[in-house]
Structure 1
């Protein structure tokens, strides 16, 4: 770690985990740290404590090499000042001055951004979106995050909240969303949606869910998205169908976004994207069927993120470093 100027820290705050990494100028993660995300009912300071602990662990991992910046990728609506979390559906932040609160405890330049913005930046710089002029990133985790990147610039919107595609309404009067509305896209095409539908079958003791019931010893509380994905990979037809349903809903949303933005590339990331073609195949099929002007217009490619679950922390670190060193 002799090239000290190359080191920055990225923190990715999701609905279930706080992941951190010490990142060099080439996007390589040279040290990692992880904590569970505090429950949404806890005070904001508890989340801040978790972030500070993670940063301190990574600074220790850097040894004598100084860290030039810390980037925070937050799962929520981040204001245009890149300092305030206006609203976080899965956390307790409401107009939370996150950057200022952390700056009192961390003596390194700090920058806050939406986690999907950070992931999109990382994929454009180091991953699946290199050399593409117009990119939309969709992150599928506890909910759905989104980001727009055009000609090497993250498009944040007038108030900093662009790309919150997960809260587009796709089903009027549909499932209640944690944001307070009904029928949001993330209620149908996210990790939570996948688990909800699988648990419904397990609770009902459906004969179609025998494999899943066995995997969780009959306890629906033990059911997780990765477990459903594992079952699908091992040939369980019900799990394959559950992922295909999520993929189909993903395709519906992608077609809507294509009508509005006309990107050249959709990059699909987040934990649910680990299902690969079990998810992306149905998504592409539905996207092509739903696309406005289908058959008469170019179609954006739909690809898996290359950087996996670390895209958010890599992007947050690189964006923060560029704010300090300028390149």
Structure 2
């Protein structure tokens, strides 16, 4: 099935999301050589079985040295257990060692934003950066902090949880139990809610996006809002402008707390960065404390796209083989 090897070994990186399991075979240069994908089951037993099948599909085609598992959730500091994952059925489970026992390969566990940050550090937009914050914007916001090229995990392994910084007191309800979290205004989910709220405030507005929402409100997605904005839809453009403002608000807070030299915008929403990133930079500059008297962080979009977490998990697994 594959054996332990050195740093030149091929490794597998797996991004376990709420809707799909995506896995890639990655070489020592961060290049994706092969991929497999499966739906994410909603109970623990079937999820374990789906992971096993996905890994074995790739192991049957390649000589694999180790596996990296990237998950959106609370990973303890030594990465031995997944404490909690809001979109997965695992809770306080040693998922890495259990998977390793089943497939006969070394497995490491990592938070998906940390994995993406490591990939960008090794092969992408953060190459050469010193103190780097990665903000992964998708369904919510994941974040990672690198200090002098090393991942910072905090005392208990869950730092930095930037998506749940409160930006609006008593604002939109969040699944975390708080209200007004940053990700409720700056995420793919937030794009949908903002578009619906804007339409409710202007019910007679006539745009293509408004017509689609009127026909089927449940069909709206963040990608659709971004696509409509790309096509010049007025409602979608206003929604993206609101998103850019909230991104700038959050980045100014991040800059004041961490003073990074670089911020990398990753995640699914990063693919639409051309619609909002310049405006977000302006809001960030305007809102940063003492902006005229200090250097500001460079803000870049991901170079590795939605494969970043898989590439990073695979590379961390390779490092663990040494």
TM-score, with structure 2 as normaliser = 0.92
1:44 equivalent in structure 2: 44
TM-superposed CA distance for 1:7, in Å, is 0.5
- Aligned 8 A contact 1:205 1:213 in 2: no
Counterpart CA distance in 2 for 1:296 and 1:203 is 42
Paired with 1:174 and 1:46, the residues of 2 have a C-alpha distance of 37
Query: For residue 253 of structure 1, what is the aligned residue in structure 2?
Result: 250
Give, in whole Å, the separation in 2 of the partners of 1:248 and 1:50: 40
For 1:14-64, what per-residue CA distance to the aligned partner results, in whole angstroms no more than 9, with x for missing partners?
A: 3333221100000000011222333xxx322333233222212222332xx
RMSD, aligned CA: 2.0
1:76 to 67, 70, 73: 73
Count of aligned positions: 317
Equivalence for 1:128: 125
User: Aligned pair in 2 of structure 1 residues 90, 178: CA closer, same or farther (>3 Å)?
Assistant: farther
Q: Is the alpha carbon distance of 1:290 and 1:32 closer, same or farther for their aligned partners in structure 2, counting shifts above 3 Å?
A: same
Post-superposition Cα deviations, 1:236-284, rounded to whole Å, max 9, x if no partner, equal 1211111121121111111111111110000001001111121212211
Counterpart secondary structure, 1:69 = strand
Cα distance, 1:294 vs. partner? Answer: 1.1
Paired residue secondary structure (2:108): strand
In the alignment, the residues of structure 1 paired with residue 206 and residue 103 of structure 2 have an alpha-carbon distance, to the nearest angstrom, of 49
Matches within 5 A, 1:1-327: 5-38=8-41, 42-62=42-62, 66-200=63-197, 206-208=203-205, 210-215=207-212, 218-324=215-321, 326=322
Q: Give the alignment's TM-score, normalised by structure 1.
A: 0.91
Is the contact made by 1:202 and 1:212 (CA closer than 8 Å) also made in structure 2?
A: no
Q: How many Å apart are 1:196 and its aligned residue? A: 2.0
Q: Residue 209 and residue 53 in structure 1: after superposition, are their counterparts in 2 closer, same or farther (change >3 A)? A: farther
* Worse overlay, 97-106 or 137-146: 97-106
Contact 2:13–2:311 (8 Å) recurs in 1: yes
Report the Cα offset of residue 207 of structure 1: 3.7
Q: 1:214 offset after TM fit, Å?
A: 4.3
- Structure 2 residue matching 1:82: 3-state secondary structure: coil
Please state whether the residue corresponding to 2:229 is helix, strand or coil: helix
* Deviation readout 1:291-325 (Å, 9 max, x if unpaired): 0111000000111001000001000000111110x
Q: How many angstroms apart in 2 are the aligned matches of 1:266 and 1:315?
A: 17
Instruction: Judge which range, 167-176 or 308-317, deviates more.
Output: 167-176
1:181 Cα deviation from its structure 2 partner: 1.8
Gapped regions of structure 2 (runs ≥ 5): none
**Secondary structure in 2 aligned to 1:26?**
coil
In structure 1, C-alpha distance between the alignment counterparts of 2:47 and 2:241, rounded to whole Å: 35
Q: What SS does the aligned partner of 2:22 have?
A: strand
CA 216–187 in structure 1, closer or farther in 2 if over 3 Å, else same? closer
8 Å Cα contact 1:134-1:150 kept in structure 2: yes
> SS in structure 1 opposite 2:64?
coil
Question: Aligned with 2:245: secondary structure?
Answer: helix
In structure 1, how many angstroms separate the alpha carbons of the residues matched to 2:199 and 2:34? 39
Q: SS where residue 263 of structure 2 aligns?
A: strand
CA distance 1:206–1:57, shift in 2 (3 Å): farther
